[in-house]
Amino acid sequence: MKPLISFSSTFLLIITHCIISLTIAPLQAQPPGVQYRGEGRAADDAPAMVYKQRRERVLATMSNRTVAVFLAADVRNRQNDVDYEYRQSSDLLYLSGFNEPKSALVLVPSGYVDSVSGQRLTEILFVQKRNPSQELWTGVTSGTDGAEKEFGIKALDYARFSAVLAQIMATRDTLYITTLPTAQVTETLSGESVSLDAAMKQRLTTKNPNLIIRSQKKLLSEMRQMKDTAELRLLQKAIDISVAGHLATMKYTRAGMREYECEALMESTFKQLGAEDVGYASIVGSGANACILHYIANRRQIKDGELLLMDCGAEYHGYTADITRTIPINGKYSAEQKAIYDLVYQAQNASIAECKKGVDWRFPHSRAVDVIRKGLLALGIITNPDDYKWYFPHGSSHHIGLDVHDASTYSALQPGMVLTVEPGIYIPEGSPCDKKWWNIGIRIEDDVLVTDGDALILSAKLPRKAEDIEAAIQSVKR
């Protein structure tokens, strides 16, 4: 479920942009009076006040000697050519809703007096200045005025970011800073792995020898793992869209199709219903590919009698669902497929039943393990109880939210947490068991909300029981 992203160093990016700018400079002129207008924020995004309250909660946990910096994600470039579609860093999204690159949020509990306006600020959003020539190519940006109006937070020009931050850090002893997934760049020529994080830390500590640098994860994981009302609404929307995608694909998929055709059905439904993206690369594996946990090539032709495993989730306003169904391509599970399916189904039910307030977050997984271990022994697929790990090699749960593997402190389950429950059994060809089981790979994954009582299955509208899946497939004439 790792998004497909390639690296390009910032250096190369700058060079590339310079070349393009020089080449196309004469074309950038516009008729006088042209002003591009943005769409503004989505009407169903959380109100600016919700983001403000989140920032205030973070500020309340920080001491007066600290400052926190939440950096925007980088723009990633594809093959030194066009850029990938932009995805903001989840922490910055969570605290501001601001969706533009080259921006940063700075939280200073004891305040910073802005030398230009004279205002004392505890929160500052640094944003790029509007640039009409650039907007012609990549679209409208908010600018400081737009950001203040739309997001209700004092905005300063990003060009001032370094200088202002240096000034703030001079009188603080702790800096909380973003750790982005892009921070590791491998220098293929030297064969050495260089951590940009480490390089940045080095520079910061050289300038500020007494500064303690901490990951901002400490500040946010506790909050982000508890979903507020606005988040639950967006998460439910992402889940509803994903359910519709799975249902359409389940119904209109048949033997002879390629895995990518199923992926197309799935993702076209996501987009038709307003999802901006997928939350992770769609996993659509048939036959032997169902046994590969993160199979994303999705090219194979599906044959009659096979299983099709689809692990796909839509992303809506930054929130992602994570749902898996494994269907019989011809509408009817074989005896062996059904035996394994029912076992995974029972394991999932046992696991969901334990997703309760106060329970250690690992406990639901241990219940799934109990059921699967017993079942595999009873079916004669294993004879040593420990060997269940060969066929169920992953955990059953993780939090979801702005990230598909969302922020978590791995503490006991509490109402407001949303997690997946996804046991599976995978028996690749050559496994030491009767070969009638070979190439059966089954995972069932749903998204559940922990409440004061029983867990609520947010993806419950999607058929999950073997008979219900068969009925859904058979409801369409083929």
Binding footprint of Mn ion on the chain (CB under 5 A) = 322, 420
Q: List the 283-286 sheet strands across, edge first.
A: 283-286, 307-312, 323-328
Q: Contact 191/153 with Cβ under 8 angstroms?
A: no
Centre a 10 Å sphere on the Cβ of residue 236 and count the other Cβ atoms it contains: 19
Q: Contact 71/89 with Cβ under 8 angstroms?
A: yes
Give the residue nearest to Mn ion (CB): 322
Nearer to Mn ion among residue 121 and residue 296 (C-beta): 296
Nearest Cα residue to 421 out of 406, 393, 402, 399: 399
- Least distance to Mn ion from the beta carbon of 212, Å? 35
- Least distance to Mn ion from the beta carbon of 398, Å? 6
- Least distance to Mn ion from the beta carbon of 330, Å? 27
Nearer to Mn ion among residue 221 and residue 420 (C-beta): 420
Burial 256-270 (b: 16+ CB within 10 A, else e): ebebebbbbbbbebb
- Least distance to Mn ion from the beta carbon of 452, Å? 25
E strands, 140-248, are 155-157, 174-177, 184-187, 192-195, 212-215
Q: CB under 8 Å to 246, separation ≥6 — which residues?
A: 266, 310, 312, 323, 325, 462
Nearer to Mn ion among residue 103 and residue 420 (C-beta): 420
The sign of the torsion formed by the CA atoms of 25, 79, 263, 395 equals negative
- Least distance to Mn ion from the beta carbon of 298, Å? 17
Nearer to Mn ion among residue 312 and residue 339 (C-beta): 312
- Least distance to Mn ion from the beta carbon of 417, Å? 15
Q: CB under 8 Å to 209, separation ≥6 — which residues?
A: none
Burial class (CB in 10 A: 0-12, 13-18, 19+), 164: buried
Q: Contact 407/225 with Cβ under 8 angstroms?
A: yes
Nearer to Mn ion among residue 128 and residue 420 (C-beta): 420
- Least distance to Mn ion from the beta carbon of 281, Å? 13
Q: Helix crossing, 335-353 with 466-474: angle to 10°?
A: 120
Nearer to Mn ion among residue 240 and residue 446 (C-beta): 446
- Least distance to Mn ion from the beta carbon of 13, Å? 32
**DSSP classification of residue 16:** H
Nearer to Mn ion among residue 38 and residue 395 (C-beta): 395
Distance CA 128, CA 194 (A): 28
- Least distance to Mn ion from the beta carbon of 400, Å? 7
Nearer to Mn ion among residue 216 and residue 420 (C-beta): 420
Nearer to Mn ion among residue 123 and residue 322 (C-beta): 322
